[in-house]
Amino acid sequence: MEERRSTVVAAATVVFVVFYLASSVVAGEVGGERPLQVPAMYVFGDSLVDVGNNDFLPPPAPRAPRPPCGVDLPPDGGGGGRFTNGYNLADIIAQHAGFKMSPPAYLSLTPATRGDLRRGLVGANYASSGSGILDITGNGTISLGRQVKLFADTKAAMATAGEVDGERMGHLLSQSLFVTCTGGNDYGAFSDGTVPVSEAPAFIAHMVATYIQHIKALYKQGARRLAIMDMLPLGCLPVSRVAVQNGQCSGVGNSLGQLFNRLLRREMAGAAASSMPDLRYSIGSLYNALHDIIVNPALAGKQLKT
Ligand SMILES: *[C@@H]1O[C@H](CO)[C@@H](O)[C@H](O)[C@H]1NC(C)=O
């Protein structure tokens, strides 16, 4: 079983991740309320962290309907495209790192934000709602593999522009925070019948192996500080609960999520030890943070409507 933590502690863990990862403090402010902890942030994943890439993709890629999405964002809150009422997980992590919000969606770059990116500052968000770890997940969305490729393209563009010399660029990247948050959509393979639940262990092992391949590709491109968000309690999503009597969380859904989380921790520890010696990483328990809020909404100062 996963160890349990209160929401308060889980939230503090995200702060800890960021501060632990940031060994040197970069001077300056980019509009956040805290001193900047890292030169840039690079975000990869799905709708939990997408800040607008899908708004630039044609259907059938899902777009966040506004309203209700975005209704609680400040007027200068970075525009639409988030699948939340307010700031999402990428924004919240960025705020703890000293930024005002997530770095901009990669597909939304302007000449100014592209300039920052080329100089190794601020970073970019490559996440795409509906995407997964596996290429087969999603329809018209940007898979994790493609997101990593877009980061490689970004790095090549940095080198070509030559505004910062190669050594400095390597240093900036090594100090930057890489965030990955994905995997939930791959589980759609069980609900749409592509993969029978009896084959879950092999499918989940394939997911974890593919995830680690992509993380190794980021390491090869210079990532040294990585925050991985684990699998959310899928059995507590409304789509899982409608099928359960009294609307309780689905035990099967949650145990499949925990299977991924245990394997991810084990395989990641092995991969880091054997082939990513300079990587510092932390796996944040989205599972525990969300599960605690669902089980005891008062912990998060919320009332749960059922
Ligand atoms: C992807 O979306 C298109 C257009 O909506 C649809 O025709 C196609 O069947 C979808 N493919 C998959 C694999 O779901």
pLDDT tens-digit profile of 268-281? Answer: 999 999 999 999 99
Instruction: Kindly state the percentage of the chain with pLDDT values over 70.
Output: 88
Residue 4 scores a pLDDT above 70:
no
CB 25 within 8 A of CB 18: no
Predicted local distance difference test score (pLDDT) of residue 76: 80
Higher pLDDT, 2 or 101: 101
Percent of all residues in the chain with a pLDDT value above 90, rounded to a whole number? 77
Please compute the mean of the pLDDT values over residues 56-85 and round it to a whole number: 91
Q: Identify the residue with better confidence: 299 or 47.
A: 47
Q: Whose CA is nearest to atom 6 of ligand 1?
A: 60
More confident residue, 25 or 296: 296
By the 8 A CB rule, do 249 and 236 touch?
A: yes
Q: For 185-204, what is the mean pLDDT?
A: 95
pLDDT of residue 30: 59
Q: Give backbone dihedrals phi and psi of 122, rounded to 5 degrees, phi first.
A: 70, -55
Look at residue 126 and tell me whether its pLDDT is greater than 50: yes
Does the pLDDT at position 293 exceed 50? yes
pLDDT for 279: 98
135 close to ligand 1 (CB < 6 Angstrom): no
**In which band, very low, low, confident or very high, does the pLDDT at 39 lie, cut at 50, 70 and 90?**
very high
Reported confidence tier of residue 58, pLDDT bands at 50, 70, 90:
very high
CATH of 7-300, one of 3.40.50, 3.30.360, 2.20.28, 3.30.1490: 3.40.50
pTM of the shown model: 0.89
Q: Is the pLDDT of residue 107 over 80?
A: yes
| Pocket probe mutation, ligand 1, options 63, 135, 137, 139, max atoms within 8 Å of Cβ | 139
Predicted confidence at residue 267, as pLDDT, reads 98
Identify whether 47 is a catalytic site residue: yes
> Is there a contact between 7 and 299 (Cβ–Cβ < 8 Å)?
yes
Residue 301 has a pLDDT of 79
Residue matched to tokens 């087969």: 136
Asked whether 275 lines ligand 1 (CB < 6 A), one says: no
Angle at 294 between CA 288 and CA 297, to 5 degrees: 110
Looking at the predicted structure, is the pLDDT value of residue 223 above 90?
Answer: yes
Residue 28 has pLDDT above 70, yes or no: no
- Is the minimum distance from the CB of 60 to ligand 1 under 6 angstroms? yes
Catalytic site residue from 6, 24, 47, 250: 47
Lowest mean pLDDT among 12-16, 56-60, 187-191: 12-16
Residue 168's pLDDT band (cuts 50, 70, 90): very high
